[in-house]
């Protein structure tokens, strides 16, 4: 993928803090128009990567580009086309939501004061906060605060949105509100790059993913391809567990394991009908046999060797 056809791209992007290599040789490819989920455990380097992409900190090595423009050299030209929410929104607690946006807009040298009122109204309406625009920020729920942060990112027309853990710390209702909003923005054609440690969030929102582990990108691509990285598995229902395990071992299924009603294991490149045929030929009573589609959680564990938050 060329930089010109990518919303975000990087080559060898690296950052070290002291002795710790926080980001190591990152090669990102985020297609234009994609909703890209940047997933990984807390501490895997996601926020540091985002800060480098936006020019907030400099890399030790490598390069990156937003919307085809090299960063940080093209910051002045490209950042007005990018909306960002990094490490949670920060607003004045005693000002209303509208007043906070007015201050932010006035501080933006690229904004047009003549259109400020209309643009702020549109942004508040877009995130569902028009009715609460006059309420002080300190009275906002966590979900409302996150939505106001996204409204701030939408004060100008944006081609790319970069959202760092947009549902972090939210209750289920706030999570649904923000998730719905991000899905609407992506559906409208805006390129969205959303980092998260919640697999359920990524599965519901994103069509492309990148998986971070200890500062390295261990996989990226369309979501369906990532799920397919894990070997397909099967579930066998049988009362003849011992005979089934012995037969499966002879077929080369090394990870077959006993369950309450049978056996599970990896297909190991074998066709399901062949496994069933051999089992029946060996006298194993096959009550049920099904190939199991891997989940994103299973793919993540396969790639990184560790667990992952799945709740949304």
Q: Which of 142, 28, 53, 18 is nearest to 91 (CA)?
A: 142
Q: Indicate the number of domains in the chain.
A: 2
- 306 falls within a domain: no
Q: At what angle do helices 272-281 and 241-250 cross, to 10 degrees?
A: 120
Tokens representing 6?
């990518």
- Same domain? 66 vs 183: yes
- Tell me the range of 133-147, 165-179, 288-302 where mean pLDDT is highest: 133-147
- In the predicted model, is pLDDT for residue 2 greater than 80? no
The region, left, alpha or beta by phi > 0 then psi within -120 to 50, assigned to residue 220 is beta
Q: Which of 9, 178, 205 is nearest to 89 (CA)?
A: 178
- Same domain? 154 vs 245: no
Q: Which of 15, 14, 16 is nearest to 25 (CA)?
A: 14
Residue 175: band (very low, low, confident or very high) from pLDDT cuts 50, 70, 90: confident
For position 312, what pLDDT does the model report? 43
Across the range 41-45, mean pLDDT stands at: 84
Tokens representing 211?
């998986």
- Same domain? 201 vs 71: yes
Q: What are phi and psi of 138, to 5 degrees?
A: -65, -20
CB neighbour list of residue 225: distance below 8 Å, 6 or more residues apart: none
For position 4, what pLDDT does the model report? 64
* SS3 state at 168: coil
Cβ neighbours of 178 (radius 10 Å): 27
Q: Report the CATH number that the domain containing residue 246 is assigned in CATH.
A: 3.30.70
For position 210, what pLDDT does the model report? 92
Q: What are phi and psi of 65, to 5 degrees?
A: -145, 145
Across the range 120-135, mean pLDDT stands at: 93
- 302 falls within a domain: no
Q: Report the CATH number that the domain containing residue 69 is assigned in CATH.
A: 3.40.50.300
Which domain, by its residues, includes 268? 233-293
Across the range 23-46, mean pLDDT stands at: 92
For position 5, what pLDDT does the model report? 76
Q: Which of 59, 1, 70 is nearest to 30 (CA)?
A: 1
**Sign of the torsion angle spanned by Cα atoms 177, 178, 183, 184:** positive
- Same domain? 63 vs 148: yes
Across the range 77-89, mean pLDDT stands at: 87
- Is residue 47 within 8 Å of residue 164, measured between CB atoms? yes
**Greater pLDDT, 36 or 306:** 36
pLDDT per position as a tens digit, 247-303: 999 999 888 899 989 998 888 778 889 999 999 999 999 999 998 766 666 666 666
Residue 310: band (very low, low, confident or very high) from pLDDT cuts 50, 70, 90: very low
Q: Which of 201, 150, 210, 208 is nearest to 176 (CA)?
A: 201
- Same domain? 238 vs 221: no
Q: What share of residues in the chain are helix, strand, coil (percent, to 5)?
A: 40, 25, 35
Strands (E), the chain: 6-17, 20-26, 29-31, 35-39, 61-66, 69-71, 82-85, 160-164, 191-196, 208-213, 216-222, 233-237, 257-258, 262-266, 288-292
- Is residue 11 within 8 Å of residue 61, measured between CB atoms? no
The chain-wide mean pLDDT, for the chain, equals 87
Q: What are phi and psi of 200, to 5 degrees?
A: -60, -40
Residue 114: band (very low, low, confident or very high) from pLDDT cuts 50, 70, 90: very high
For position 14, what pLDDT does the model report? 97
**Greater pLDDT, 242 or 301:** 242
Termini Cα distance of the chain: 32
- Same domain? 132 vs 218: yes
- Same domain? 100 vs 210: yes
Residue 243: band (very low, low, confident or very high) from pLDDT cuts 50, 70, 90: very high
**Greater pLDDT, 292 or 246:** 246
């Amino acid at each position: 993928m060329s930089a010109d056809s990518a919303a975000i791209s990087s080559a060898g992007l690296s950052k070290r803090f002291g002795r710790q290599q926080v980001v190591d040789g990152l090669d990102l490819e985020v297609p234009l128009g994609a909703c890209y989920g940047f997933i990984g455990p807390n501490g895997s380097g996601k926020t540091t990567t985002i800060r480098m992409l936006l020019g907030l900190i400099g890399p030790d090595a490598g390069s990156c580009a937003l919307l085809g423009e090299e960063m940080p050299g093209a910051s002045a030209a490209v950042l007005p086309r990018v909306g960002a929410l990094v490490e949670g929104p920060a607003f004045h607690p005693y000002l209303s939501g509208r007043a906070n946006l007015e201050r932010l807009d006035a501080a933006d040298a690229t904004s047009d004061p003549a259109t400020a009122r209309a643009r702020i109204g549109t942004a508040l309406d877009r995130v569902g906060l028009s009715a609460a625009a006059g309420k002080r920020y300190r009275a906002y729920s966590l979900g409302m605060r996150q939505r106001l942060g996204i409204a701030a990112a939408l004060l100008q027309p944006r081609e790319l949105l970069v959202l760092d853990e947009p549902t972090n710390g939210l209750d289920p209702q706030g999570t649904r509100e923000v998730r719905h909003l991000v899905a609407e923005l992506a559906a409208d054609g805006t390129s969205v790059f959303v980092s998260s440690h919640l697999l359920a969030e990524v599965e519901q929102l994103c069509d492309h993913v990148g998986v971070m582990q200890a500062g390295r990108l261990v996989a990226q691509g369309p979501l369906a391809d990532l799920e397919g990285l894990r070997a397909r598995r099967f579930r066998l229902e049988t009362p003849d567990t011992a005979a089934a395990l012995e037969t499966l071992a002879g077929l080369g299924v090394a990870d077959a394991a006993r369950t309450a009603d049978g056996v599970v294991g990896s297909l190991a490149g074998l066709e399901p009908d062949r496994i069933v045929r051999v089992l029946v030929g060996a006298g194993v009573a096959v009550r049920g046999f099904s190939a199991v589609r891997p989940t994103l959680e299973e793919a993540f564990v396969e790639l990184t060797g560790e667990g992952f938050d799945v709740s949304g």
